[in-house]
């Protein structure tokens, strides 16, 4: 490469973080968490790419608290991400799809007051067929009382306070994103100032800024729902999808949230995992699936709703609570919201 070509290479994630520290000093303390997430993402990308070779496909023989069979890589990637995040010294509590309860780090000397919620390997049921998977995460701040409870407060009381603080609405997120493991490894991130996308450059082993200031198209041409559930949807949603078909929309559905949301962010359109008669709250988990995706969607100019309520306004009652999610291009999602308004 000539000197000019080298100088025109995209900015690395590390350089971008330094730039953000100057432009938005209030976000500076997020830097270790973002760096640790990116490092864990590289490790997970390598594990996913080598899953077949390293005998890491298949199940672990255990189930998570939601009764789902855990894949070997669900368990392994949970450890990778947990270790990376706790080593920053910035976390007070972490909540994961693969942990029954939030894990308090307050007893550790090296802990901070951020809360992270994540799904280490979303879409893992696709893994054995080498289909796209992803990591999803959200970061919130905890209140000061987590660290500085009354002098006579026992460590258990403080831990309990921290657990309760995990149950914050998505509107309180200070950072959220996902890492997509597909034909490229892509890290989509927002720290509340738009959405930036970084691709892993295998030549240098770094994430580089390939999608600056992502804006979702106002309208797309694709809808993405599991139509096998459509007989159990409400009539308004059934009408909405019928109207999309009439208007020439195409259907795309991977069954891997990160892949389906990423395509929706880039091409526009609408992704949904709605409520249905069998699953009145849909399937996706609020804290570590719906809320981070909703944060990214809104930061990119899109909408994320249950159909009745803005996702980011929902105050979780439980760590693994499920909510319907419909998100994507503002005009496409607004069409559905208008149909719901007219139906009452
Ligand atoms: P797995 O992690 O078990 O593969 O579940 C993935 C997921 O939670 C999400 O990524 C998909 O959007 C959704 O499930 C797909 O669910 P259906 O199979 O019901 O369409
Ligand atoms: P592209 O290469 O244009 O994406 O087309 C892909 C394809 O030929 C097949 O890989 C795929 O199964 C099919 O088109 C999808 O077609 P449709 O858009 O009609 O669902």
22 CA distance to ligand 1 middle (Å) = 39
244 pocket-lining for ligand 1 (C-beta < 6 Å): no
| Pocket-testing residue among 225, 283, 288, 321, ligand 1, by greatest number of atoms within 8 A of Cβ | 283
Q: What's the 252 CA to ligand 2 centre distance in angstroms? A: 10
Top mutation candidate among 65, 122, 178 for ligand 1, by most atoms within 8 Å of CB: 122
The pLDDT of residue 151 is 52
Ligand 1 contacts CB of residue 257 (under 6 A): yes
For the chain, the C-alpha Rg in angstroms (whole number) is 20
From 258, 273, 274, 320, the mutation candidate for ligand 1 (largest count of ligand atoms within 8 A of CB) is 273
Compute the Cα dihedral for 97, 103, 109, 114 and give only its sign: positive
Q: With beta carbons less than 8 A apart as the criterion, state whether 177 and 187 touch.
A: yes
Contact call for residues 200 and 187 (beta carbons, < 8 A): yes
**Among 74, 123, 182, 262, which is best to mutate for testing ligand 1, by the most ligand atoms less than 8 A from CB?**
123
Nearest CA to ligand 1 atom 15: 255
Task: Confirm or reject: Cβ of 211 under 6 Å from ligand 1.
Answer: no
* Any atom of ligand 1 within 6 Å of the Cβ of 325: no
Tell me the H-state helices in 182-312.
235-246, 257-267, 291-299
Supply 250's token pair.
């195409």
Residue 119 alpha carbon, nearest atom of ligand 1: 2
The pLDDT assigned to 111 comes to: 77
pLDDT in tens, the chain (344 residues): 567 666 678 999 999 999 999 999 999 999 999 999 999 999 999 999 999 998 988 888 788 777 778 889 999 999 999 999 999 999 989 999 988 888 888 767 777 889 999 999 999 999 999 999 999 999 999 865 555 445 545 666 666 666 688 999 999 999 999 999 999 999 999 999 999 999 999 999 999 999 999 999 999 999 999 999 999 999 999 999 999 999 999 999 999 999 999 999 999 999 999 999 999 999 999 999 999 999 999 999 999 999 999 999 999 999 999 999 999 999 999 999 999 999 98
Query: Tell me, what's the ipTM?
Result: 0.78
Q: In 3D, which of 246, 251, 227, 222 has the Cα closest to residue 237?
A: 227
Number of the ligand 1 atom closest to the C-alpha atom of 134: 10
Asked if residue 329 has its Cβ within 6 Å of ligand 1, the reply is no
What b/e string do you get for 6-31 counting C-beta neighbours within 10 Å, with b at 16 or more? eeeebbbbeebbeebeeeeeebebbb
Q: Can you tell me the distance from the alpha carbon of 227 to that of 219, in angstroms, rounded to the nearest whole number?
A: 21
Residue 169 is encoded by which pair of tokens? Answer: 């609405």
The three-class DSSP label of residue 141 is strand
Per-residue pLDDT, 104:
80
| Ligand 1 mean position, distance from CA 193 (Å) | 29
Q: How many CB atoms lie within 10 A of CB 270?
A: 26
Q: Residue 125: CB within 6 Å of ligand 1?
A: yes
Residue 9 has a pLDDT of 83
96 in ligand 1 pocket by Cβ < 6 Å? no
Q: Six-digit token pair at 201?
A: 């450059």
Residue identified by tokens 């929902």 is 314
CA-nearest residue, atom 13 of ligand 1: 255
Decide: residue 282, CB within 10 A, 0-12 exposed, 13-18 middle, 19+ buried. Answer: buried
Q: What is the value of pTM for the model shown?
A: 0.92
Closest atom of ligand 1 to 74 CA is 2
Pocket perturbation via mutation, ligand 1, pick of 63, 124, 255 by most ligand atoms within 8 A of CB? 255
Q: Which atom of ligand 1 lies nearest, measured to the CA of 284?
A: 8
């Amino acid at each position: 490469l000539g000197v000019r070509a080298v100088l025109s290479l995209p900015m690395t994630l590390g350089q971008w973080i330094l730039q953000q520290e100057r432009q938005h000093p209030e976000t500076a303390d997020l830097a270790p968490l973002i760096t640790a997430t990116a490092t864990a993402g590289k490790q997970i990308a390598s594990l996913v790419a080598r899953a077949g070779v390293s005998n890491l496909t298949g199940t672990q023989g255990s189930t998570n608290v939601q009764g789902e069979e855990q894949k070997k890589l669900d368990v392994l990637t949970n450890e990778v991400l947990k270790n990376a995040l706790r080593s920053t010294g910035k976390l007070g509590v972490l909540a994961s799809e693969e942990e029954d309860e939030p894990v308090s780090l307050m007893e550790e000397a090296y802990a901070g007051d951020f809360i992270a919620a994540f799904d280490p390997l979303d879409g893992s049921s696709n893994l054995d067929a080498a289909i796209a998977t992803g990591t999803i995460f959200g970061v919130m701040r905890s209140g000061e009382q987590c660290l500085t409870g009354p002098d006579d407060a026992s460590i258990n009381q403080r831990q309990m306070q921290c657990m309760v603080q995990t149950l914050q609405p998505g509107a309180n997120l200070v950072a959220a994103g996902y890492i997509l493991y597909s034909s490229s490894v892509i890290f989509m991130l927002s720290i509340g100032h738009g959405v930036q996308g970084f691709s892993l450059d295998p030549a240098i082993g770094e994430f580089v800024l390939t999608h600056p200031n992502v804006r979702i198209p106002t309208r797309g041409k694709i809808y993405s729902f599991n139509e096998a559930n459509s007989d159990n949807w409400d009539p308004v949603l059934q009408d909405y999808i019928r109207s999309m078909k009439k208007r020439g929309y195409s259907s795309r559905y991977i069954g891997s949230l990160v892949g389906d949301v990423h395509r929706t962010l880039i091409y526009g359109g609408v992704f949904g995992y709605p409520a249905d008669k069998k699953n009145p709250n849909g399937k996706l988990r609020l804290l570590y699936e719906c809320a981070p995706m909703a944060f990214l969607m809104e930061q990119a100019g899109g909408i994320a709703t249950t159909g009745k309520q803005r996702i980011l306004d929902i105050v979780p009652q439980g760590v693994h609570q499920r909510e319907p999610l419909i998100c994507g291009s503002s005009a496409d999602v607004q069409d559905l919201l208008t149909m719901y308004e007219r139906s009452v």
